[in-house]
Chain A
Amino acid sequence: MDAHTRRDRFEQIALSLIEPLRRFLARRTDPDTADDVLSETLLVCWRRLDELPAEPLPWAYGVARNCLANAERGARRQHRVAQKMAAVDRPAEAHAGPGEGDDRLAEAMASLRPEDTELLHLWAWEQLTPGEIAAVLDITPNAASIRLHRAREKLRTELRKVEQPAGHEGSRERREP
């Protein structure tokens, strides 16, 4: 592949990856880190252009995930996480969802292990199939399918707990009056 063809090919692929990657990162980190990790991820894509699979997006999500993990180990992390938390505490500007339901969902999600929430996010937010999730997490499609199934089960169980607290009347703050 000559230099010109290579540039054309990268541009074509990068343009198809940028928006999904931006959303992927916006869901998981603060805007500054998202920008940095987007650049790093595209840089890896450029360097490994010849190795990109036919469907590069799940692979690119996997790269972004690793770059993000590295970035978050960095020195800027604490400061930015504080900013992110401050931003999260403010009401969402759009698509706030069904208010009360969101709070309960957030509470249920918060009680899951990070691995499970990530699977559920890849499924619901990135809309990936188990095969694609497997490519992101570098596990087998079968394992992805089983883990996703279990994560959904756990979330449903947690949601039931949050929405119908057992016994102890009035013991939960979120309970409807």
Chain B
Amino acid sequence: MLRAARGQQQAQATKRSWNVVVFSVGGIKLAARTEDVGGVSPWTESIPVPSRTPFVQAMLKRDNYLMPVYDLATRLSRKLQGDPLLCLVARHADGPMAICIDADVPSLETVDAAAIRPNISRDIETLGSVTIGGDDVAIVALQRLGRLGQDLI
């Protein structure tokens, strides 16, 4: 009984907090749930692909692995900052997707789930927003990134 109660407490504690990766695109701080991030590495030149899908117009080759690139900076009308730029791999519902982000190395944060506010912005797919270091940071829904953009264009 005691063990079960402890387990429930731990589960509740886990639900009460989210682990997020905080990164920036064009100086805008954004966050994503750690489980939605496949990794961060130096950005390499992408390969343009003729496409009419908004913000999906290139591929990235890593060894023998190819993945589509999502141009989040263009979607947010921002210019990427710093050098060398970094590549954040999003665990998108349709498969891994590369996003070019600023050179600032992302950080890991734990946020209280109760502190996450619903985000009514239609600029980008989010899971809400939270205050981190005094900044209002949107938690990007990487798994469904691009779905809202499809409707807007």
A complexed with B:
no
